Structure 1
């Protein structure tokens, strides 16, 4: 995923009202940008550190700028836009970076499925093979040198795990794919200390046959791309 033109940069002042952030530009002026992240963004907000944002030419948007990247005080990069995770995953599948998902002829996005009225992020199909349901999650929480998901209680995430279990019971293949959008994260674990219910369902899903994968993104102001597999702890 390339940004053409490249992202613009500024310095974070603060994030507030969940979906807004104030940024100081290089000329000293201040702007409000859209923050496309529904999580708590724990350990992902660093006032006075550099941020990068994209700009839309859609005149209907109230805030034309979208927060994409955060630099941490130690020089790591964090992908703030959780919506990028699905695109990163789809690109990595198409380019055969995710070897575990090679061999399917068709890829569909946002397909309705399950008994709890969900939408699967990616559905892979091919004649003669079970359908593969891929649920994508963006992982950005780094604590004590380890990556965790989620960064806040997620009833929606719990629902998705139940749906994946149901797909396995129905004879399909189900995959939980963590897209690691933090260059400092090298392992991923369920955040039992944040959402014990999610962690419990995570382990149940694995026991029932849901596959769990994690791939790390290389992040820069010009390009986001999935590169390396990350261990699940």
Structure 2
């Protein structure tokens, strides 16, 4: 996924009201940027952090910058929670997700479960339908372990139970964790932050839901899906 406009660097002054960030640009200008992330953003919101913003000249948008990437310690991290779905769609259509490469039809946002829409429904003659939910991952607290979630996610647990129902109906169901934190080599759960999600994860795994994690390549020009990484959950 290429950005419509190459990102520009800045220094984070503060993130506030969840969806707003005050940033100082390289020329000293102070701007307000949209922060497209409702989570805690643990480790990615400290004042003084280097960040990357996407400018826009859309007259319909009140804010002329969108925060897309953080750069803690020189490592690029995508923070936009909408990005994973876009890059997964590209990868699925190009058949670059190895475990799902046999599917030729990719349909986003299909109704299923209880008042829900699955991120992607994959179909192919002769194969069971594959229901794919995508989760954004950008929490790193130790070594090269990517963790999910970074805060309590009741909605995330609901998706796991709904995927389990799809397996019971004879379909494939896949939870795909997209790690936007470059340099991570393994994925696990942040069980201390949301024990209920961890419980739902184990129940879904036992029910037959497939758990996948893929890394990303992040730059000021684009974010693309990279290779798979081990999912390690006891």
User: TM-score, normalised to structure 1's length?
Assistant: 0.96
Unpaired segments ≥5 residues, structure 1: none
Unpaired segments ≥5 residues, structure 2: none
CA RMSD of aligned residues (A): 1.1
- Separation in structure 2 between the aligned mates of residue 140 and residue 38 of structure 1, nearest angstrom: 13
1:96 shift after superposition: 2.4
Deviations 1:66-103 (A, max 9, x none): 1100100x211110101001011111212222100111
Secondary structure of the 2:192 match is: coil
Which residue matches 1:161? 160
Which residue matches 1:187? 186
- Separation in structure 2 between the aligned mates of residue 121 and residue 87 of structure 1, nearest angstrom: 10
- Separation in structure 2 between the aligned mates of residue 58 and residue 113 of structure 1, nearest angstrom: 34
Q: Which moved more, 1:150-159 or 1:61-70?
A: 61-70
- Separation in structure 2 between the aligned mates of residue 184 and residue 43 of structure 1, nearest angstrom: 15
- Separation in structure 2 between the aligned mates of residue 134 and residue 53 of structure 1, nearest angstrom: 29
Deviations 1:174-213 (A, max 9, x none): 0000000001321111211010010011011111100000
User: TM-score, normalised to structure 2's length?
Assistant: 0.95
1:4 shift after superposition: 4.1
- Separation in structure 1 between the aligned mates of residue 226 and residue 118 of structure 2, nearest angstrom: 23
Q: 1:141 aligns with which of 131, 136, 139?
A: 139
Secondary structure of the 2:74 match is: coil
Q: Which moved more, 1:56-65 or 1:5-14?
A: 56-65
Secondary structure of the 2:131 match is: strand
Secondary structure of the 2:161 match is: helix
Runs of 4+ in 1 over 4 A off after TM superposition: none
Deviations 1:109-144 (A, max 9, x none): 111111x21111111111221110000001111011
Deviations 1:45-80 (A, max 9, x none): 2322221111233322221211100100x2111101
Give yes or no for contact 2:93–2:104 (8 Å, CA) kept in 1.
Answer: no
Give yes or no for contact 2:129–2:171 (8 Å, CA) kept in 1.
Answer: yes
Deviations 1:154-186 (A, max 9, x none): 000011001100000111110000000001321
Q: Note if 1:9 corresponds to 2:9.
A: yes
Instruction: Give the total of aligned pairs.
Output: 231
